[in-house]
Amino acid sequence: MKSIMKAVRPASLQFVSRTIATRSLPSIRSQLPLPRYNCLRPASSLSPAVLSVARRSTLGSNSRHYTTGHISGPGAPRPPKDNKLKAWPFILIFVTGAVAFAAVLENRKDKPKPMPPTDTSKSLPKLRDDGPVFSPDDVKVIFVLGGPGVGKGTQCANLVKDYHFVHLSAGDLLREERTRSGTEYGELIETYIKEGKIVPMEVTIVLLENAMKKSIEAGKHKFLIDGFPRQMDQALKFEEVVVPSQFTLFFDCDEETMTKRITERGKTSGRSDDNPESMLKRFRTFNETSMPVVNYFDGQKKVVKVDGAKSVDAVYADVKAHIADRLK
């Protein structure tokens, strides 16, 4: 406490003495015989100290034209400090705060909404962790990726006709599950699809694995898995617990072309995500979440890239040319 008082005392004394000096300045001024000097002696003959005080008194209290330094010594009046609160720092703080607040609001508006907490998350299907259920020697999987509406389904149908693949669309399986009576995931799937988000991988991987099992039991071992994996966790987990893929067929396309295709498809598809709002969210998810999957497999030299912006026949011709040797 004592040390605080020690520190505070000199500072407060200084403040008090300055205040007294400033407040009493007008009375000091009034005692100076300024008019006489001004009338009788030329300005050049006045001492700098007197000139300084004289100037101050004629310029008024708001003037800043002080000649400090000429009046010195103990008891000499100090130039009055402008004790009025200056407004500009407060204006600056207010403007900075307002700009920062507006930026935060803008940022929030732009960000995709976080998904609502899912109370089913505790009851998501449990995935095994004892290695892949199928061997890549027996079961061949080709992942088919590309932005929304790029034409994955159409090209898969062509490949099924010519090469007898089983075509499994992750999106179709999810939509089927959403409306299956007795499912506990209907609401969860609908929310994710509408928001253009990726359904928790446990649900999708179990649906794919079950569908694959059915086909394998029927003697079919070649799969085109369309629209999957769309997120890194799905890619890693599927290869870990189901089967490692052969390669990924990736359809590259600009958003303008995909927008036109989805708009056209939306007229008849009845899909809850074929609308402008969901479409934008799906593009965003594709760029931020699914492209890293393509890049990951590309790093393993397991991506076949085809220009998806051409006509259906031209794209299919490219697909066949690119993958023919891989399908033997």
Q: Rounded to whole angstroms, how far apart are CA atoms 34 and 92?
A: 42
Q: 246 contacts which partner out of Mg ion, ligand UDP, none, CB within 5 to 8 A by kind?
A: none
Nearer to Mg ion by Cβ, of 202 and 273: the residue is 273
CB of 288 to ligand UDP, least distance (A): 13
The yes or no reply on residue 204 touching ligand UDP (CB under 6 A) is: yes
- Positive or negative: CA dihedral 181, 183, 188, 189: negative
Residue 52 interacting entry, from Mg ion, ligand UDP, none, C-beta within 5 to 8 Å by type: none
Q: Confirm or reject binding of residue 297 to ligand UDP (CB under 6 A).
A: no
Q: How far lies 259's CA from each of 34, 282, 289, 307, in Å?
A: 85, 11, 19, 16
The reply to whether 266 sits near ligand UDP by the rule CB under 6 A is no
Segment 130 to 159, residues that bind Mg ion, using CB under 5 A: 153
Nearer to ligand UDP by C-beta: 171 or 308? 171
Residues 201-230 that bind Mg ion (CB under 5 A): none
Residue 149 interacts, among ligand UDP, Mg ion, none and using kind-specific CB cut-offs from 5 to 8 Å, with ligand UDP
Task: Identify which of 246, 227, 235 has the alpha carbon closest to the alpha carbon of residue 201.
Answer: 235
If contact means CB under 5 to 8 A according to the sort of partner, which of Mg ion, ligand UDP, none does residue 261 touch?
none
Closer to Mg ion at the Cβ: 206 or 262?
A: 262
By beta-carbon proximity to ligand UDP, the closer residue of 83 and 268 is 268
Give the CB-nearest residue to ligand UDP.
171
Matching residue, tokens 């295709």: 261
Amino acid at 316: Y
How far is Cα 102 from Cα 94, in angstroms, rounded to an integer? Answer: 12
178 binds, among ligand UDP, Mg ion, none (CB under 5 to 8 A by kind): none
112 is in an annotated binding site: no
- Interface with ligand UDP in residues 110-169 (CB under 6 A): 148-149, 152-153, 169
312 is written with which tokens?
Answer: 């259906």
Instruction: Return the range that interacts with ligand UDP (CB under 6 A); candidates 47-55, 64-72, 78-86, 224-232.
Output: 224-232
Rounded to an integer, what distance in angstroms lies between the CA atom of residue 47 and that of residue 44? Answer: 8
Q: Is 271 annotated as a binding residue?
A: yes
The smaller minimum CB distance to ligand UDP, of residues 25 and 174, is found at 174
Q: Is 199 one of the binding residues for ligand UDP (CB under 6 A)?
A: yes
| Separation of alpha carbons 308 and 306, rounded Å | 6
- Between 134 and 251, name the residue whose CB sits nearer to ligand UDP: 251
Q: What angle do CA 318, 322, 328 make, to 5 degrees?
A: 130
Binding residues for a ribonucleoside 5'-phosphate, as ranges, are 175, 197-199, 227-230, 234, 271, 282
- Which residue ranges are tagged as binding site for ATP? 149-154, 265, 310
**Residue numbers at the binding site for Mg ion (CB under 5 A):** 153
Tell me the binding residues.
Answer: 149-154, 175, 197-199, 227-230, 234, 265, 271, 282, 310
Please give the residue ranges that form the binding site for ligand UDP (CB under 6 A).
Answer: 148-149, 152-153, 169-171, 174, 192-193, 196-199, 204, 227-228, 230, 234, 273, 282
